[in-house]
A = this chain, B = another copy of it.
């Protein structure tokens, strides 16, 4: 007689456990045979309802965000996804109508990123829902890209566009911004979609691994995250605000309210990659990223010094932000 938890796992999560070593989630643990000559890359990120997503966000997008914030870390380190484990703390009110689309969203990303489920745990909580994923990836031994390694003269690059996630969150909190920023329905949906379902840059993980000198994913804001990279690399950086790549929607928000540059540069929830690339390797990086359909933009350069990175405007004037990186603590 299977328990309620076993039934829940069999019904919703077993279909995601496509790897032989996952044993259909019917055992206490799973096994994984790492390919010889490869390192595992390990990361864990949790989302809390009401903190990292809205309680009424579609369950599909909650699942996909939980997965993708982890895949984003793997990609920024140069690793290809290999598998994941999911721990869900579920309030009593969560039933089939939530779990079914959640599992379906997770499955679509497990499939899309070739990152099957290897296990996890489901527990009851009388607090908000917590979805915690541990993901592991693989790369040739000794090749994980770190935050350390940036050198003066390296080009600072970012993937995709910056600020959409933070502006999407702002729009969800205050829908009047759609009119104030003169956004079309599609543009508003773009920002919200970027907040709810980030785009991990798995497609260029191999490029990051072979061509970047240092890299990390932008989760807590471009300026703050770049500052962390600079600090451990023992260098500084100079970024041109005007070169920070913006979506059409973000550009409209900035045109309407110029002080939104702060939300864009420091707001977080981007899940893009910021990396330093030796200038000799930048053309190859740019061309191969474009061939992989991943937009990459040079936004500045690594410079000598130990001070926080500077973001300068079109007149060379340094912008000062009240907040560096986002932190809940």
Contacts and interface: CB of A to CB of B under 8 A. Distances in A.
Interface of A: 1-8, 21, 23, 26-34, 36, 38-48, 50-52, 73-74, 76-77, 79, 83, 85-87, 89, 91, 118-128, 130, 132, 134, 136-137, 139, 141-142, 144, 146-147, 216-217, 220, 224, 227-228, 232, 308, 324-329
A2 B86 CA distance: 29
Given A26-B147, A146-B23, A329-B3, A121 B85 contact: no
A118 B134 CA distance: 11
A241 B139 CA distance: 51
Given A8-B329, A123-B52, A329-B122, A32 B40 contact: yes
A21 B41 CA distance: 9
A31 to B, nearest CB: 4
Given A28-B73, A141-B33, A46 B89 contact: yes
Contacts of A324: 1, 3
B128 A132 contact: no
A31 B36 contact: no
A2 B29 CA distance: 36
A231 to B, nearest CB: 8
A77 B329 contact: no
A134 B44 contact: yes
12 contacts: A3-B325, A3-B326, A29-B137, A31-B139, A34-B40, A44-B134, A45-B87, A46-B132, A52-B123, A87-B132, A89-B130, A123-B130
B134 A85 contact: yes
Given A32-B39, A127-B127, 10 more contacts: A7-B329, A23-B146, A30-B42, A31-B41, A33-B39, A43-B85, A47-B123, A87-B134, A125-B128, A134-B134
A123 B23 CA distance: 31
A43 B32 CA distance: 11
Contacts of A79: 29
Contacts of A41: 29-31
